[in-house]
Structure 1
């Protein structure tokens, strides 16, 4: 099995490598600084020494003498010993060395650092003399007597050997080794502490384990069909997968933004942020989609870390529920009519058994007249067959719950296009269902429906004898998922919200006001020429 160092070991190794690089850089900087200091300080000194020797009368007088080597040998050796330099050399005007602390150079040509030195100019710099690199100063010897005044008599060169690398390090600072040692110990201690801290923050996991965990998380989050949104305690989005971003219509750079910055408001924001506990099957409408949300708070060691919310798209399911709702309404109508007919037959049977035949005839005539009156009223005032049938079904259901459903005398509705009829039926059905629910709790309960139509608009007014709507909830009842019923909030909390969306899609609005008798809902919408594109959930049924 291949050995893999631990996270702490890797961090320590990297820190040591970094420290080593720093130490090398510090050493190189110290060497460079020492070389610059040596060149500046020693360069000035050798130039001053060379100028002093060049102006010495003995050098001027003996430079051209036949015995100049013997006469100057003592002088150059003395100057070398007194000044502590590496070499002292004297050459004549032709550049031939006549005396030097290095006997090998006597009689050889003096190496010039610059061609101008041979013409009587001074120069200082670095030269390699006899295999040794020296910092040298070359100064001309100028005649001062009447016979050779101003004449270039020769050249004096004084050199100082350049120190080695170790000598420069030692010369840079006598405490450099101590400083580097202390820095190394501090670096080792810091690396060890940093490794321990990171180890604690990663819960003891090694790099390959962290990488594997990240890969598994990515595969899980982006491989599931449900949307996932994670928030921190400061309402910032810390994680969102692609399905959630598509369902909530979030920008690609939403991670790190707050909910307000990401454009999430209203009921959706309330569900995502509710810290009162877990949220189960909360229904929210978002950009024409019916979403089902489940939120769970995340805590560790008693500290709240944020929350994770999963989202499911129930738009198609809501459409199927609407279709099933139409069949359910038909079934309810048939059941209510069967119950009503059974009671009427029992009454007729009882009258026959007691011999009240005349009363049977009058009872049957009354039932027939009431039925014909209701049918004629609906047919005369509501010409659209679908709406008329819907009101007949709702009347039977309301009667079973001892609620009278009546049609306003001002009602007048002509035939509508199929799409217009479907949207009007959705609004009427939702409003009547809510009105019957509100009125059923009282005595002498009733619900009145009024339908009015002009050239382009249909107005729907539904009034009930219920307790009304609290003023502070007049707008909230149309919020996504709001319901005043304690049971089945997830299924019944979208009816009025969808009703409002249908009205807005058709350029209208819905409002609620309280009257002396109860609540009155007024909805308006444009028919014939819809104001917007078809809403994918605009015709979805449901109850508020």
Structure 2
């Protein structure tokens, strides 16, 4: 039901209710103030009346010489009527009542709780609860004219008006105030609601909520990553694809966050704050290559933010083989299968020759060779994935006729802080495979591998005695897409190596002589340094 009511009328009613409530509170406070003022004025009036009665010669004379002739009683009644008080009571020092509107109390002893100080020559005001309500009472001592001693007390009282009586007395003022407050409250609320509705493009809140949900679902359904920031650098839009590509999927509170506090790559932050529009540019973020465009968001000709749209333009099918080493492992399995088939054929031939000693000797020999290499790598390299990769590369080299030599000082106990296993597989796999390619036309093929680390640095070295590189090739070897191999599915491996080294703030040292061989040494600090150290080639 409430949802069908326009937001304009909701705001009007709410604003009017607030104004009316405030007006009523103001009236209540005003009535309280008015009552306090009224009490003060009444108290002064009662004190004046009481002093007048206390100074009447007839009353003083009666108290000094009691005659009970009733002369002063009529005078007191006249003053009561003229001053508009409810009662005037005169008491002697024995607290005997001499005058009172209630005839039955005359001659009795007064025993009210608030009259005590008056018999000690004190003048004061008091409030007391009576049969007619709360009354304001003024007490004034009556002093003798002859010797200035106290001879009695005058009590003048008037019942205070109730709150309702005060409201009725001031009803005109109250009604005018409420009517004016209501009129201007309704008028102001209506114009406020109309302006707010206009600023919301005449949309209702549920329509805005639905639009926001649809927009969120739309940007999250896009295959491209989207990040938008306002002029103060706060994120206003970020979709799921952006979180995935930028590896911040575990953050759910990014909307409204300063982009510099999110851990997003600084280069992306620079792009978003760059004043010029940029289209179709490439950027390496970690191990991912993205193609991005950045444009300023303008509203009424004024820049209110910027938006960056990007996507992973890397050919997943091609790069997955080089990034994850899938193709290398597939090749290793094929090599291993081929190698074992050859060994089985050899064993089968020796069995047919009925040379059991040769069979056992051969099996023992190949078993020892494999176990020795496996034991060495397992004891020196504490990552089974890297051990498996090196075993596969040794077997592949055996098939290709390459003597793969692993340095006896090779050791790996932990990776540098900026590298993961995936990066190291990419580095080792690409460098060894490039070495194998360089040895294709060499008669005595040799490839030397070394992997060492200490507290300061991690060093990887691959050396071959292959064909080497010309100066032109050395200058372009790390350029994405450059290759000396036939076919289109090449030219990515060494550029990936370079990007990983750059990310790790390490450096690559390349030595190559055409016709004599190549040595590539990669050094990466174990801890991230403050600036990149990529050296020239």
Aligned counterparts of 1:421 and 1:6: Cα–Cα separation in 2: 63
Q: What TM-score comes out, normalization by structure 1 length?
A: 0.58
Indicate whether 1:35 and 2:35 are aligned.
Answer: yes
Q: Which residue of 1 aligns with 2:199?
A: 201
Matches within 5 A, 1:425-504: 426-427=430-431, 456=452, 457-458=460-461, 464-465=471-472, 498-503=496-501
Conservation of the 8 A alpha-carbon contact between 2:118 and 2:139 = no
Aligned counterparts of 1:131 and 1:309: Cα–Cα separation in 2: 83
Q: Which residue of 2 aligns with 1:150?
A: 149
Q: Which residue of 1 aligns with 2:522?
A: 525
Aligned counterparts of 2:107 and 2:227: Cα–Cα separation in 1: 93
Q: Which residue of 2 aligns with 1:4?
A: 4
Q: Which residue of 1 aligns with 2:49?
A: 49
Aligned counterparts of 1:492 and 1:88: Cα–Cα separation in 2: 118
Distance 1:101 1:64, change over 3 A: farther
Q: Deviations over 1:285-318 (max 9, x none)?
A: 24x5555657676556666554264666979653
Q: Which residue of 2 aligns with 1:126?
A: 127
Conservation of the 8 A alpha-carbon contact between 2:63 and 2:152 = yes
Gaps of 5+ in 2: 332-392, 413-420, 438-446, 453-459, 483-488, 512-517, 529-537
Alpha-carbon shift at residue 24 of structure 1 (Å): 1.4
- Please state whether the residue corresponding to 2:70 is helix, strand or coil: helix
Distance 1:258 1:3, change over 3 A: closer
Aligned counterparts of 2:180 and 2:320: Cα–Cα separation in 1: 75
Q: Which residue of 1 aligns with 2:339?
A: none
Q: Which residue of 1 aligns with 2:58?
A: 58
Q: Which residue of 2 aligns with 1:229?
A: 227
Distance 1:61 1:254, change over 3 A: same
Aligned residues: 419
Q: Deviations over 1:410-450 (max 9, x none)?
A: xx9944799989624525879999xxxxxxxxxxxxxxxxx
Q: What TM-score comes out, normalization by structure 2 length?
A: 0.58
Distance 1:309 1:157, change over 3 A: farther
Matches within 5 A, 1:235-254: 235-241=233-239, 244-245=242-243, 247-250=245-248, 253-254=253-254
Conservation of the 8 A alpha-carbon contact between 1:113 and 1:123 = no
Aligned counterparts of 1:421 and 1:132: Cα–Cα separation in 2: 97
Distance 1:293 1:91, change over 3 A: same
Distance 1:455 1:82, change over 3 A: closer
Q: Which residue of 2 aligns with 1:269?
A: 269
Matches within 5 A, 1:141-220: 141-145=142-146, 150-151=149-150, 153-165=151-163, 168=166, 181-217=179-215
Distance 1:172 1:498, change over 3 A: farther
Aligned counterparts of 2:506 and 2:299: Cα–Cα separation in 1: 49
Aligned counterparts of 1:94 and 1:103: Cα–Cα separation in 2: 19
Conservation of the 8 A alpha-carbon contact between 2:284 and 2:499 = no
Conservation of the 8 A alpha-carbon contact between 2:96 and 2:109 = yes
Aligned counterparts of 1:299 and 1:424: Cα–Cα separation in 2: 48
Alpha-carbon shift at residue 509 of structure 1 (Å): 1.0
Q: Which residue of 2 aligns with 1:404?
A: none
Q: Which residue of 2 aligns with 1:72?
A: 72
Moved more, 179-188 or 19-28: 179-188
Distance 1:165 1:314, change over 3 A: farther
Matches within 5 A, 1:290-369: 305=304, 306-307=306-307, 309=309, 318-320=319-321
Kindly report the root-mean-square deviation, in angstroms, between the aligned alpha carbons of the 2 structures: 5.6
- Please state whether the residue corresponding to 1:465 is helix, strand or coil: helix
Aligned counterparts of 1:27 and 1:81: Cα–Cα separation in 2: 33
Conservation of the 8 A alpha-carbon contact between 2:430 and 2:494 = no
- Please state whether the residue corresponding to 1:203 is helix, strand or coil: coil
Distance 1:3 1:260, change over 3 A: closer
Distance 1:454 1:17, change over 3 A: closer
- Please state whether the residue corresponding to 1:209 is helix, strand or coil: helix
- Please state whether the residue corresponding to 2:207 is helix, strand or coil: helix
Conservation of the 8 A alpha-carbon contact between 1:125 and 1:136 = yes
- Please state whether the residue corresponding to 1:32 is helix, strand or coil: helix
Conservation of the 8 A alpha-carbon contact between 2:20 and 2:185 = no
Conservation of the 8 A alpha-carbon contact between 2:141 and 2:152 = yes
Gaps of 5+ in 1: 330-382, 393-411, 434-450, 470-476, 485-490, 514-520, 534-544
Aligned counterparts of 2:436 and 2:105: Cα–Cα separation in 1: 123
Q: Deviations over 1:29-78 (max 9, x none)?
A: 11121222233343244234323422433212224766647222332234
